Amino acid sequence: MSVINFEFRNEVLKHNASLSYCYQCSTCSGGCPVALLTEGGYNPRKIIEEAILGLQDKLVQKQDPNPWLCSTCQTCVELCPQKVEITEILTLIKNECFNIGNVPEAFISQGKAVLENGVALPYSKAILTRREKLGLPSIKTAPIDEVKKILQETKFENHIPKE
């Protein structure tokens, strides 16, 4: 049985007061491409309901439903009749998951790639050569020292498993 954590609920509300406007109409889930693709396995309405109820253990520890599946397409926000900023609330929940080290390995791998290359998916030498032959402009990446500074400030490296 889940326990209501009023501190968590209040933290979410403090972060984004629009949570209190949700009346659970399910418009967000009905328009969500990930909810449709997962046949309701991912359900933004359920995540918002659990946030309203302060069910931190379900959202952060158990990740049921999984907030990491949100593609941040903003469809839910655009469709919401109450203008609840769902993706912002999901970002807070994902940050809470990150703070306790409950992050999917794929996100850690992407972060490591950004830390090492300035991009999440580095371009292969073949692609860069082909772009050059086609006369396309060179691809600019974020300066790695700036990326490292951001990742240090967010304590990302604390969550990278030691090899």
- 102-156 pLDDT tens trace: 999 998 888 888 888 778 888 889 999 999 999 999 888 878 888 888 888 887 8
Distance of alpha carbon 89 from alpha carbon 101, whole angstroms: 19
pLDDT of 162 above 90:
no
Which residues have C-beta within 8 Å of that of residue 27, sequence separation ≥ 6? 76, 79, 80, 81
Q: Are residues 77 and 124 in the same domain?
A: no
Least trusted range by pLDDT, from 50-54, 83-87, 102-106, 112-116? 112-116
Residue 1 covered by a domain: no
Q: Are residues 154 and 89 in the same domain?
A: no
Mean pLDDT of 16-27: 94
Q: Are residues 126 and 152 in the same domain?
A: yes
> Quick check: 26 and 62 in contact, CB under 8 A?
no
pLDDT of 157 above 80:
no
Q: Are residues 84 and 146 in the same domain?
A: no
Distance of alpha carbon 100 from alpha carbon 57, whole angstroms: 12
Q: Are residues 17 and 50 in the same domain?
A: yes
Q: Are residues 155 and 119 in the same domain?
A: yes
**Range of the structural domain that residue 33 is part of:** 6-99
Q: Encoding tokens for residue 134?
A: 């086609």
pLDDT reported for residue 163: 61
pTM (2 d.p.): 0.79
Number of domains in the chain: 2
